[in-house]
Structure 1
Amino acid sequence: MTDSPNWERLQKALSVEADRGFGDLMGKQYRFSEFMVLSFGESLNMGTIAQRGCWQALAEEFLQYSHLSPEQRKTLLDKARSLLNELQGGTKAPVARELLKTKPIAAQVSQSYGTIPQLKQSLATLPEIRRRRSAKALERLGLHTVQDVLTYYPRDYLDYARQVSISQLVPGETVTLVGTVKRCNCFTSPKNKKLSIFELIIRDRAGQIKLNRFYAGAHFANRGWQEKLKRQYPVGSIVAAAGLVKKNKYGITLDNPEIEVLDSSGSSIESINIGRVLPVYPLTEGVTADVVRQAVVAALPAVQRIQDPLPPALRDSYSLIELPDAIAHVHFPPDPDTLTHARRRLIFDEFFYLQLGFLQRRAQQKALEKSAVLSPTGQLSERFQELLPFKLTNAQQRVVGDILEDLNSETPMNRLVQGDVGSGKTVVAVFAILAAIQSGYQAALMTPTEVLAEQHYHKLVSWFNLLHLPVELLTGSTKTVKRREIHSQLETGELPLLVGTHALIQDKVNFRKLGLVVIDEQHRFGVEQRARLLDKGKSPHVLTMTATPIPRTLTLTLHGDLDVSQIDELPPGRQPIQTTCVTGRQRTKTYDLIRREVVQGRQAYIILSTIEESEKLNLRAAVEEHKRLQEEIFPEFQIGLLHGRMSSADKEKALTQFRNNETQIIVSTTVIEVGVDVPNATVMLIENAERFGLSQLHQLRGRVGRGSHKSHCLLMSGTNNPDAKQRLSVLEQSQDGFFISEMDLRFRGPGEVLGRRQSGLADFALASLVEDRDVLNLAREAAEKLIMADNSLQDFPTLQQELERRYQKLIGGAILT
């Protein structure tokens, strides 16, 4: 199929629409949806019958785009991108017409040096590096050996492979021109004696263009140097010039062009900077782009020594090119299409080895470790089911089934339960806890904050009292006498369930028979903290929970060795929250809304953003704002205060007063983010909302809308930044935590979404968790098939060696979960 839609334009349009929040962007001529309909509609007479059917179906779906919700729009875009990737993978795009040939980089090096470097060879021993004395500069980038350079991938590219005539130049494009020198001049600027200007006028059959290069420095003003430069470009000689097309007051030109004089009109281009896709590398002070490119050129012949660890059958199954070709072409691709295939192979490898390591470790754990078999049925579970005043949602029932099936096996459970705010994760966890208790084992529930621990404790006590089961709370604020009592009851087995914070991992906390560990908001704990709690028992089953939905790509790269269940359904009766972005000019109206709600007997949160650099500033800001609101804005109401510097007793007192409606408004920092359940609260004002991530705002918003009354969330923005406004508008459009987390990932990237302190995120050289989701899913699938066939990988020794090298490098061998 040669007459398919323009792949690049379609993929770019899909990426931009997704990055901008699925708002049906308006282009120069058409809206996004109109452009997609027209693009697919133009293709209805092209390609195979099956492909024409795909184009028609997509065109019809995009006709309805304006009527779809943001979540449905995202699903349609994912479908379109997957289809384009699938069709593009089986299609060879036509190669651009070339006016001149570029000599292959590796051929140039082989001709120069005649020998192929060793992969472990020092860069300082390579003739080109030694001659240029650039080994020290390369060491600043951590590049010491030939292999280091080969795996130092470009961060971007300048596409000079497209050769056009002068009449075809379009500002903003990168191109290569070939023409005849009409005039050449070099002179010192009359306004600046230290600036020399080189002018070259070239022409082809379609027109002419003036090119300039500028040389700053007194020595370039030397007339002899200037005449020597002019002699390199005699009138009538053929030159190739590459650069970014720009338009200035004198017309079209190339910005700071690379220029090479050719032997004749049919000669090959020798320069590594002209007529090809030029790599752009990450640099540091004192290291130029040319130094890195020359090092890559010198090292490139060594790709012949690289052995591809992937079995040929696996490469063929997923249409992957061989590793030596991928590495050579990711540096100096002959054309954009080849670059696409090279990057796809290397991105696949980055994901594949991480997933293979996760799955192999999980398989080995299942084979070596044995856990207690916990009965899924019994009097406690049946009694609890009868006591519940509501029916479990279908999603809750499905997740409970997953968990109980895991517990009824001696293979250690290692399951992550994701659920949106208010989806009922705690109830699900109780079924697991009761399975442990009725089987004669103890359970522990650990949370990252005392506020959340106390919330869980109060809820569990209300249920466990009806079941005549004891439950205790252990935090840093627990009194010494009570602490000793808890320690004693744990060791004798009298206490079946302990809820707490990091206090659970202290040395004096010893369980008699720990069978289940539940960790809530597990991403807030470090690797060692989670491991120390697991050491309190003999391979206990582990259930981790999070109310912060994580996109599938992040889940796989962080928790690839976990089984994952999602509670993707809210209990009936939950009210949608009216979310509105407001500015400082609307503050009076915002306060009026809060006042109306409180007068009607409701309650309100006012959330202050935090400044990580200074807890003292946070404290002062919270205290001062509380005082201002109490004295100047809402003197008729009682206003509470809650912040992270308060003692546990004061925090609990503030929350209790708010739960009991003794305070109608509470001013709080983000300590309120999870675990606080006050159904009577119907309005939340979040100050400086642009300082928060979308997922965190969604978490905060979840503190309202928990009762039967209509609720409001007001996002007060202190900036006119259009990107910030665009981010916040996502919350106005959607209540779906999983969709919001996907958009958060797009806007901020994985590092910011998880927080700078989050450990365990693999550091990829090329892969993007936003753009390369399809490749990640394929890599996971390939790794699963390989592990199912042979989890020891003994039939693939080279693959096992590469796995060990990469896996240790990616995650440092740490146990993530």
Structure 2
Amino acid sequence: MTNDTPDWIRLHKALTIEAEHGFTDLIGKQYRFSEFLSLTFGKFPTALPSIERRCWQELAVKFANYPNLGLEDRQHLVAEARRYLYQLQKEQGEQCGLGVSPSGATAVEQGSKGAEEQRRSYLSKIQPNSKSPIVAEVSRRLAPKIDQKLSDLPEIGIRKADKLAVLRLYTVRDLLFYYPRDHIDYARQVNIRELQAGETVTTVATVKRCNCFTSPKNKKLSILELILKDNTGQIKVSRFWAGTRFTSRAWQESLKRRYPVGSIVAACGLVKGSKYGLTLDNPELEVLANPGDTIESLTIGRVVPIYALTEGVMASMVRQAVIAALPAATHLKDPLPNGLRQKYGLMELKDAIANIHFPDDSATLQVARRRLVFDEFFYLQLGLLQRQQQARAIQTSAILAPKGQLIEKFYKLLPFQLTGAQQRVLNDILNDLQKSVPMNRLVQGDVGSGKTVVAVIAILAAIQSGYQAALMAPTEVLAEQHYRKLVSWFNLLHLPVELLTGSTKTAKRREIHSQLETGELPLLVGTHALIQDTVNFQQLGLVVIDEQHRFGVKQRALLQQKGEQPHVLTMTATPIPRTLALTIHGDMNVSQIDELPPGRQKIQTTLLTGQQRTHAYDLIRREIAQGRQVYVVLPLVEESEKLDLRSAVEEHQKLQESIFPDFQVGLLHGRMSSADKDEAITKFRDNQTQILVSTTVVEVGVDVPNATVMLIENAERFGLSQLHQLRGRVGRGAAQSYCLLMSSSRSPDAQQRLKVLEQSQDGFFISEMDMRFRGPGEVLGTRQSGVPDFTLASLVEDEEVLLLARQAAEKVIEIDATLERWYLMKEELKYRYERLMGGAILT
């Protein structure tokens, strides 16, 4: 370049390449980008007027400091230089003999783009009418390969790739499928007068005043204040920079020069109130040459993707990396056949990937999200149904007789008739047991609906057919409850039954092991102790698992491996919403006992505050005076310094000594020894203690029909499903029962949740509401339950898409369960099981 005529082409090209490579201060053959620009602007053309020479030299100083700038400031500086060169070139164009195109490119540049326009531009192909500068930016790039390492992409490089690896992003595919966790819609452009608090918007206005200064309250904080004005009004906006390097007057003056009075600025952010009226909260800003100019920012004026980040990985870095990877989506082959996509109204995969990251508007985002949510559900259901199909192909299970003397005798022992729902579910089970295909059935039933009786009949079907059965429960309390009930029935049938838990004595344990191996013991009840290596059945035909979601997948599988493809019956008193049942039990048959035995009264449920505690105590005294008993449940065993909650130990002492000294108050919690637990439960069952203070250990397994009051302290600390379970400990007899939810929380959300329990006795409705409030993992109470971690899909919001995905998966399996005719679908299923589910969801 001479001192008379600037080399416009080299300058434009340098700025363009730097932008395309993510503002990384690229190293050229001789200089770094910043060095080249600093040297170039350091020698101003003699033909320039003096006022332009000053601006020219200021750019030289700014680019000398370019290596010290953050990504956002580098973007601003490059954009500023490009706009300045365009305006200057426009003014000098005729003298220099260089025509300038409307886009700001020289005639030489226009010609050099011919080859690039022949490239297969992904986004320009799928969004031909899009005016998005992101589309234009991506469309200029050669598409990387799907499996290409991120470090190989020039826009990312080794240093950035190492940081992205912390997010487990290693390849281009990883980036494409790294969906945003949320989006902020800045696409709506409004006038200042139309701003409303709580909205996210973009506004374009003129700078009326600009000031940059150090905060008087914090000497390490710089503040930029702009007064922006359009023809409808004006607002004051502020941006903040923390750090001593931003407090120098030179830096602050350079920032002020970026937003001169009279310049056009696009600003986006969350509208919020301030003492000066409405403002934009720490907005993104971009200077425009003209009011109608295209906004180049990755955030301003568009729907902005919000990614999950970690320390050292900035949002701008992930967005720039995604833009670098997006052209590779052209290589994605859609595993879903065109006919299936059309039937369910699904966007093509490559379009959905582009629009989940950088959609033109919210409507397009929703269409893209729907497709990707469908995929998450579809491959899950496909895997579950394929597994179910494979299980049905196994023909080695025992065929158990649905009729026989044992079952007939048991029917005669029962002092009641089975309800219609119990009989319907029992028929489902007995039909399964007559097949050589292993049964895999889940029985759902509310507390007190009679699931155990149904399970006992299934167990008797196995025993009278010459096989053994096992019943596994998650806690010793529940296992002992089942054991006691079974002993009372099995003694009358002259059948032995034993209990095996962690507390079983060594001699008794050896005796049980021996009787199992010889076949003398037809039924064993227990906890996790059943899956120990030393437990061996002679011929296990049926496995019954109670509250099965409390066991891990491997634990359930270990018990099944104790026999030769035994039938499996699982039970739960925690009603599971339909979407959740489809997700974690999609390979099982599900039956519901949706009818309570006759004579059961609704439990009167009341929400009380701390000030109403005397009402609760009065009710307790009245009930005990009539010979009834009471539960008092607390969330903690001992007082916590961090949580201001009533502890079970302290509450027990207080109730016994101060509140109810005339009654016997017992204590039960999980830290007690098995012997102490047994003693506490036995005393309560025998009415030796009238009040039992307990933690949630009584949630399942304690059955005392004489108990009529359940007082739950700090009820807001429990989930609705758990509260419903606790409530089910009363109302098991003929007397009117009461559940008192004690809560001092003033949170509207907590009050709204607890009122659901106050107004409904329907366990399935309560579980649906619980899932809406807390999410599926919390409803089941354990991450062992196998709920997959969906990236986009929500079991609460996307039920309609889940049902469609299930329907589509059923149709595919019906046509070809092996998926041989859909090779891409088969490969995608394998990939997703390895990455998303890992087989852990399979029951």
Q: Are the aligned partners of 2:550 and 2:785 in contact in 1 as well (CA < 8 Å)?
A: no
Aligned AA (1:301): P
CA distance 1:205–1:644, change in 2 (3 Å): closer
Determine helix, strand or coil for the equivalent of 1:758. Answer: helix
* Whole-Å separation in 1 of the counterparts to 2:680 and 2:273: 64
1:400 shift after superposition: 0.8
Alpha-carbon offset, residue 576 of structure 1: 1.0
Among 135, 148, 169, the residue aligned to 1:106: 135
- What is aligned with 1:63? none
Q: What does 1:367-766 align with in structure 2 at a 5 Å threshold?
A: 367-610=393-636, 622-766=648-792
Structure 2 residue aligned with 1:35:
none
> What CA deviation, in whole Å up to 9, does each residue of 1:691-736 have, x standing for no partner?
2222111111111111111111112225333332332222211111
Aligned to 1:244: 270
Query: Aligned runs of 1:215-234 on 2, under 5 Å?
Result: 215-233=241-259
Aligned partner of residue 697 in structure 1, secondary structure:
helix
Cα distance, 1:203 vs. partner? 4.0
Letter in 1 for 2:134: I
Aligned length: 713
Q: Matched residues in 1 for 2:662 and 2:496: separation?
A: 43
Residue type of the partner of 2:382?
Answer: L
Residue 3 of structure 1: aligned partner: none
Aligned to 1:796: 822
Greater Cα shift, 407-416 or 760-769: 760-769
Distance 1:560 1:120 in 2: 32
Mapped contact 2:513–2:536 kept (Cα < 8 A): yes
Greater shift in the superposed pair: 310-319 or 647-656: 647-656
Structure 1 counterpart of 2:563, which letter?
Answer: G
Which of 317, 341, 344 is the equivalent residue of 1:318? 344
Deviation track 1:351-402 (CA, whole Å, cap 9, x = no partner) reads 1111111111121122135211112222332332333222222211211111
In structure 1, the residue matched to 2:23 is: none
| CA contact 1:102–1:269 (8 Å) conserved in 2 | no
Q: After superposition, where does 1:212-291 map in structure 2 within 5 Å?
A: 212-233=238-259, 237-291=263-317
| d(CA) in 2 for partners of 1:505, 1:803 | 31
Pick the structure with greater CA Rg. Answer: 2
- State the partner residue of 2:6: none
Q: Partner of 1:127: helix, strand, or coil?
A: coil
Tell me, yes or no, if the aligned pair for 2:212 and 2:225 is still in contact at 8 Å: yes
CA separation in 2, counterparts of 1:503 and 1:213?
A: 62
Q: For 1:47-90, what per-residue CA distance to the aligned partner results, in whole angstroms no more than 9, with x for missing partners?
A: xxxxxxxxxxxxxxxxxxxxxxxxxxxxxxxxxxxxxxxxxxxx
Deviations 1:526-563, CA, capped at 9 Å, x for gaps: 22322221122100000000111122222222222111
- CA distance in structure 2 between the aligned counterparts of 1:454 and 1:232, rounded to whole angstroms: 76
State how far apart, in whole Å, the 2-side matches of 1:234 and 1:361 are: 66
1:121 counterpart (128, 148, 157): 148
In structure 2, C-alpha distance between the alignment counterparts of 1:367 and 1:487, rounded to whole Å: 33
Would the aligned equivalents of 1:176 and 1:275 in 2 still touch at CA under 8 Å?
A: yes
Paired with 2:507 and 2:334, the residues of 1 have a C-alpha distance of: 64
Q: Secondary structure at the match of 1:134?
A: helix
Contact 2:637 2:695 in 1 (8 A): no
Distance 1:492 1:127 in 2: 70
Native 8 Å contact 1:730 1:740 kept in 2: yes
Cα 1:197–1:471 shift into 2, 3 Å: closer
1:419, distance to aligned residue in structure 2 (A): 0.7
In 1, are the aligned partners of 2:637 and 2:647 still within 8 Å (CA)? no
> What's 2:335 paired with?
309
RMSD: 2.7
Which amino acid in the other structure matches residue 103 of structure 1? S
Following the alignment from structure 1 to structure 2, what is the Cα–Cα distance between the partners of residues 365 and 191? 70
1:23-58 residue CA offsets vs partner (Å, 9 max, x unmatched): xxxxxxxxxxxxxxxxxxxxxxxxxxxxxxxxxxxx
Query: Offset at 1:502?
Result: 2.2
Cα separation, 2, equivalents of 1:612 and 1:405: 49
CA separation of 1:206 and 1:816: change in aligned 2, threshold 3 A:
same
C-alpha displacement at 1:765, in angstroms? 1.0
- Unaligned 5+ runs, structure 2: 1-128
Contact persistence 2:553–2:784 (CA under 8 A):
no
| Kept after mapping to 2: 8 A contact 1:354/1:810 | no
Question: Contact 2:213–2:252 at 8 Å: present in 1 too?
Answer: yes
Is the CA contact (8 Å cut-off) linking 1:102 and 1:270 kept in structure 2? no
Indicate the residue corresponding to 1:47 in structure 2. Answer: none
Tell me, yes or no, if the aligned pair for 2:637 and 2:669 is still in contact at 8 Å: no
Q: TM-score, normalised by structure 1?
A: 0.82
What's the CA shift for 1:176?
A: 1.8
Could you say what secondary structure the match of 2:704 adopts? coil
For residue 128 of structure 1, give the secondary structure of its aligned residue in structure 2. Answer: coil
* Change in 2 beyond 3 A, CA 1:486/1:756: closer
Asked if the contact 1:102–1:276 (Cα under 8 Å) also holds between the matched residues in 2, the reply is: no
Structure 2 contact 179–792 (Cα < 8 Å) conserved: yes
Determine what percentage of the aligned residue pairs are the same residue.
72
SS at structure 2 position matched to 1:467: coil
Q: Distance in 1 between matches of 2:446 and 2:201?
A: 49
- Alpha-carbon distance between aligned partners in 2 of 1:488 and 1:218, rounded to the nearest angstrom: 77
Check the 8 A contact 2:551/2:785 in 1, yes or no. Answer: no
- Closer, same or farther: CA 708–218 of 1 in aligned 2, 3 Å: closer
Deviation at 1:432, TM superposition (A): 1.1
Q: Distance in 1 between matches of 2:468 and 2:640?
A: 41
Q: Name the aligned partner's letter for residue 181 of structure 2.
A: R
Q: 1:668 to 1:243 in 2, by over 3 A?
A: closer
**Secondary structure of the structure 1 residue equivalent to 2:393:** helix
Mapped contact 2:132–2:360 kept (Cα < 8 A): no
One-letter code aligned to 1:170 = Q
What is aligned with 1:84? none
TM superposition shift of 1:227: 4.8
Task: Return the alpha-carbon distance in structure 2 between the equivalents of residues 222 and 609 of structure 1.
Answer: 55
The 1:171–1:300 alpha-carbon spacing in structure 2 relative to 1, beyond 3 Å, is: same
Asked if structure 2 preserves the Cα contact closer than 8 Å seen for 1:106 and 1:300, the reply is: no
Q: 2:638–2:648: 8 Å Cα contact kept in structure 1?
A: no
Q: SS of the counterpart of 1:326?
A: helix
- Higher relative CO (Cα under 8 Å, sequence separation at least 6) belongs to 1
Would the aligned equivalents of 1:106 and 1:301 in 2 still touch at CA under 8 Å? no
Structure 1 residue aligned with 2:24: none
- Please state how far the C-alpha of 1:471 moved relative to its aligned partner: 2.4
Equivalence for 1:155:
181
TM-score by length of 2: 0.80
SS at match of 1:549: coil
- Cα separation, partners in 2 of 1:533 and 1:193, compared to 1, 3 Å: closer
Q: Label 1:428 to 1:260 Cα distance change in 2 as closer, same or farther (>3 A).
A: same
SS of 1:278's equivalent in the other structure is strand
Q: Deviation at 1:756?
A: 4.4
